[in-house]
Amino acid sequence: MSRAIRRQQMIQKPPAKTPGFRPSGSRPVRKQEAAAVEAAKGKKTWRDWGIFRGIRDIIAELRKVTWPAREEVTRLTVAVVVVAVAIGLALGGVDLGFNWLVDNTLLRD
């Protein structure tokens, strides 16, 4: 018997995995889902309308925000203005350079 045949006989596939737990019946309902179902059954008030619910959600999220200090806002605003002015001057210089180049090469009489 050759070595390869003996090796094949020794290799066995692992048994297929079977699920150890199979739930029977419906899944349990969470408290939040139960409350949502009960609320959906009731009559809708003006608080349940989409626009008011959206505004309430926005206000709730804004209460969670950590707002920066006044000094940080001032420092970052100055930084943004300085960078914007620097980029504006750089683009203006490039524009003047191209304008001069076109005037002196293409439009020269």
Residue 27 DSSP SS3: coil
Task: Tell me the pLDDT of the chain (109 aa) as tens digits.
Answer: 566 565 555 566 666 666 566 666 666 666 666 666 666 666 666 556 667 778 888 899 999 999 899 999 999 999 999 999 999 999 999 999 999 999 998 877 6
Q: Which amino acid appears at position 95 of this protein?
A: D
Length of the chain: 109
- pLDDT in the model for residue 61: 92
- pLDDT in the model for residue 31: 65
**Ramachandran region of residue 93, left (φ > 0), alpha (ψ -120 to 50) or beta?**
alpha
- pLDDT in the model for residue 52: 77
Radius of gyration, alpha carbons of the chain = 36
CA-closest candidate to residue 54, choices 62, 64, 43: 62
